Amino acid sequence: MHLLYIDDDEVDLLVFQRLAGKMNQFTYDLAENFSQALALMKTHSYDLVLSDFFLGEGRQATDLLPHLGQTPLVIVSGQADVAPLDQAVEQGVKGYYFKPLSIESLAILLTTPERAARAGLKTDWKELDFDFSYLDELEVDQAFRLQVLGLFREMTPLALEKTRELLPDNQWEAIQAIVHRSKSNLRYLGLHALLDLADEIEDDCGRPYRHHLLPGKVAHWLTGMERALEKTQELLHTTNR
């Protein structure tokens, strides 16, 4: 599979190259603006084009559409306003994701680009942290808190692995059950952003007309849960010193 990734931000280009190297599932070319992208598209064939919304030179990602033929275009955006992105989808863009891309979301795009989510996945999981106010209200001791963290670390990897198995086949009912079971731990640990996203996923799973939003949301949730596991391990390691 051969991709074209277009972005004028050097860091975003480096991150994409890092993801591509880790996945080792496709080849790619990079472009920094509309002119470079157009030149590459004239001499190369691509299975998928990923592009920032603004391409410099007064151009936007939608200006690529007349030159793409049947090649799908997905916007990878850093902007908060979704209205222009939704308009781009109406014009023929397959969908959009919010930066940063993850291995999970990129894997979905490689398999089925048309499943790109029109969803506001703007949470930066780097800022993820625990809020133990719920446990504090219960006046639990440190041993109880560590027990809750330990159970989360023990149970979550299997749930995430199962979710990844179910995701390519759109098994939303089974995914809904897994996400629902995660919510108690998320609530106890005060992982509010993940809990809010779990609520959204559970609600969307029960509404077929919103199923097109789920691939991106579930991929984003998986990334956040992995980050939560990392934070859990760090906290347990620090506490047990």
- Render pLDDT for 4-61 as a digit per residue (tens, 0 to 9): 999 988 888 998 999 999 888 899 999 999 999 999 999 999 999 999 999 988 899 9
What's the pLDDT at 87?
86
Q: Which residue has the tokens 């603004």?
A: 54
Which pair of tokens denotes residue 143? 């041993």
Tell whether omega for the bond before 208 is within 30 degrees of 0, i.e. cis.
no
Q: Is residue 195 a contact partner of residue 131, using CB atoms and an 8 Å limit?
A: no
Give the integer Cα–Cα distance in Å for 126 and 129.
9
5/221 Cα distance (integer angstroms) = 24
- Is the pTM for the entire model greater than 0.85? no
Distance CA 225, CA 166 (A): 16
Per-residue pLDDT tens over the stretch 201-234: 998 898 887 787 788 889 889 989 999 999 999 9
Q: Is the pLDDT of residue 1 over 80?
A: yes
Largest Cα–Cα distance of the chain, in whole Å? 66
Q: Give the span between the Cα atoms of 108 and 105, in whole angstroms.
A: 5
**Domains of the chain (ranges, CATH numbers):** 2-115 (3.40.50.2300), 125-239 (1.20.120.160)
pLDDT at 136: 87
Percent helix, percent strand, percent coil in the chain, to nearest 5: 65, 10, 25
pLDDT number for residue 227: 92
Task: Report, as an integer, the average pLDDT of 146-159.
Answer: 94
pLDDT above 70 covers a percentage of the chain that reads: 92
Gyration radius (Cα) of the chain, Å: 20
Q: Output the six-digit token pair for 235.
A: 């906290």
Over residues 68-96, the pLDDT tens digits come to 988 999 998 876 567 788 788 889 888 88
- pLDDT by residue (tens digit) across 116-149? 544 444 556 777 889 998 888 888 888 898 999 9
For tokens 């850093």, what's the residue? 78
Report pLDDT for 113: 60
The confidence score (pLDDT) of residue 119 equals 42
Q: What contacts 215, CB < 8 A, 6 or more positions away?
A: 108, 112, 115, 116, 117, 167
Specify the pairing of strand 2-6 against strand 48-51.
parallel
Q: What pairing do the DSSP bridges indicate for beta strands 73-77 and 48-51? A: parallel
Q: Which two tokens stand for residue 229?
A: 């596991």
Provide the mean pLDDT of the chain. Answer: 86
